[in-house]
Amino acid sequence: MTSTDRYVSFCGIDCDGNARQLMDILNQHLVAEDGDPRWCQYFRDKQLQQQQMGQDSLYFVGAQMNNLYSYLEGCGDEIALQLLWKLEQECC
């Protein structure tokens, strides 16, 4: 198995794909209105800004890292939290 190291190269690390996957999970939570409604509205507003500014999913995740941790912890979504940790360690 080949290990990856973002400080050497991003080759072999699917940052964009993992960020899109996390955004899909986030959107599922928002549609279901999981967690604190204030977080739901916050992320809806931020996603609108993201679209207006033409930012990609990886940029969004990097800019919202701490907020995403708080929201996903409140949702109790361990899979999403693991993916967020992976993104933080490998890509942000």
**pTM of the entire predicted model:** 0.86
| Cα 59 to chain centroid, rounded | 9
Per-residue pLDDT reduced to its tens digit, 23-64: 999 999 999 999 999 999 999 999 999 999 999 999 999 999
pLDDT digits (tens, 9 = 90+) for 3-22: 655 444 455 689 999 999 99
CA gap 90, 84 in Å, rounded: 10
- Domain-wise residue ranges, the chain: 37-92
DSSP symbols for the chain? ----BTTTB-TT--HHHHHHHHHHHHHHHHHHT-S-HHHHHHHHHHHHHHHHHT--HHHHHHHTHHHHHHHHHHHT-HHHHHHHHHHHHHT-
